[in-house]
Structure 1
């Protein structure tokens, strides 16, 4: 590629990045502005009088630190449970031949076609009967056993299908059983798929909104998306700088994780046949 063409390509890519980068830049810089400066005209890209008052209010108005930890540990548990379920189920569908496997797999995939809004009332009644409303158990069990787990199972199954059968034959010669083949041979090779499943599962749980507003009512049990809706003034209007400060804090770890792991995420999807 010639230098001129390279400059042209990078220039086009930079222009295409603007619609994606600008909202994040505006959110982060506006969170440092006083309220009077947010609505100034013409708007400024940088705060004229930067202040951290909005970030102090984030923690003063409600237990944001506790809510942050709630989202973190729930997302981690959901990711671990989803990996355990999807890896085992994906391996079973890919490598174990049993009667009706294709029909069962299609039935499992139909879980992707059912919107969360359709199942939320039956789920609420079930968890209410079990006494688990206003706890974090619904936020852990529903994603780990619901549609995100179905998609993860599909990705893991597609990856295990691509593994050469000779690898398992060599394992059997060494005396490995079915679980040994899964644990020692197939699972270590599935790191790209595991990385892809881990990233999208963590992000889905971190951004979960419908289930928290249905199942949780105590502020100390809120998660980040639910907490962001609580920053309002005495008249019910939004506290713009405080909301943006909380949104910046909530988006920061997600951006860092994705930037550091995006190559593995793309590689995992490419190797499982989900190329864009």
Structure 2
């Protein structure tokens, strides 16, 4: 039964939501406005919500001091490959654990889930030694392979498994009657129905890859190969002090794809988790 609120109640609810949103919106607003302030105004107290003067040259300095355009491209294409790869691996693994009966399936799935309990800091040294032997240090391969076959993919596999478990078994039985094999059933029936779950997997995988910090600082050494989180730490003066206005300008440019994904895909993300039984 749908509850109807009076106009006054709606105004009160929206007003309360606006107040509660301030702690979340203010840091982003401060970052954007501070990126065009002189340094002496950035930490003024009380903070200026609207800059008293504007200096847009900081955005030009972002690209002059570092190969920021190349670093932006690095993050973009790595995130795209990781997202696509994780969707492929997790959807196939999730379908196998959910719909294919084989000995030890539940035990193997529990072992896979243990990957979520191991912090990335624990495995970073063995991974470094492994990629060093393979000659992949200072390349983007570790940043692609580790997320696709690591903890992000494990969580994505769990999400996809939960969705495929909820599919009616009659769909597969009807498909077998029509002569479809296992892969054909997965590709033509199960996968198209899994679009909400795939959308959720794509969103959190992209955001995880875009914000990845530990692995880049371990595996990358050349500025032209840096990704954005690592690049943001490189805007320092001759005394190794942070150049705050330039850092904030670079951070603002870095946050644009994240804000776009959040604005346009938040509904798909919520619906995807709802279809997998992970509603909060």
TM-score bucket of the superposed structures, by smaller chain? over 0.9
The answer on 1:254 being equivalent to 2:261 is no
Equivalent residue for 1:241, pick from 239, 245, 259: 245
In structure 2, the residue matched to 1:181 is 185
State the Cα distance separating 1:61 from its structure 2 match. 0.2
Shift, 1:86, TM fit: 0.3
* Cα distance between partner residues in 2 of 1:41 and 1:14: 23
Q: Any idea what SS the aligned residue of 1:275 has?
A: coil
The counterpart of 2:194, out of the listed 190, 193, 210, is 190
Unaligned ranges ≥5, structure 1: none
- After TM superposition, where is structure 1 displaced by more than 2 Å over at least 4 residues in a row? 39-43
**Does residue 6 in structure 1 map to residue 6 in structure 2?**
no
Quote the offset at 1:41 in angstroms: 4.1
Q: 1:23 maps to which residue?
A: 27
Shift of 1:23: 0.3
Question: In the alignment, what sits opposite 2:169?
Answer: 165
Counterpart in 1 of 2:52? 48
**Aligned residue in 1 for 2:158:** 154
Query: Whole-Å Cα distance in 2 between the matches of residues 66 and 242 of structure 1?
Result: 17
Structure 2 residues without counterparts, runs of 5 or longer: none
**Cα RMSD (Å) of the superposition?**
0.8
2:123 and 2:135 map into 1 onto residues whose CA distance is 18
Equivalent residue of 2:172, what SS? helix
In 2: Cα distance, 1:61 partner to 1:273 partner: 47
Question: 1:42: Cα distance to partner?
Answer: 3.7
Residue-pair matches, total: 276
Q: 1:215 aligns with which of 219, 223, 229?
A: 219
Separation in structure 1 between the aligned mates of residue 67 and residue 101 of structure 2, nearest angstrom: 51
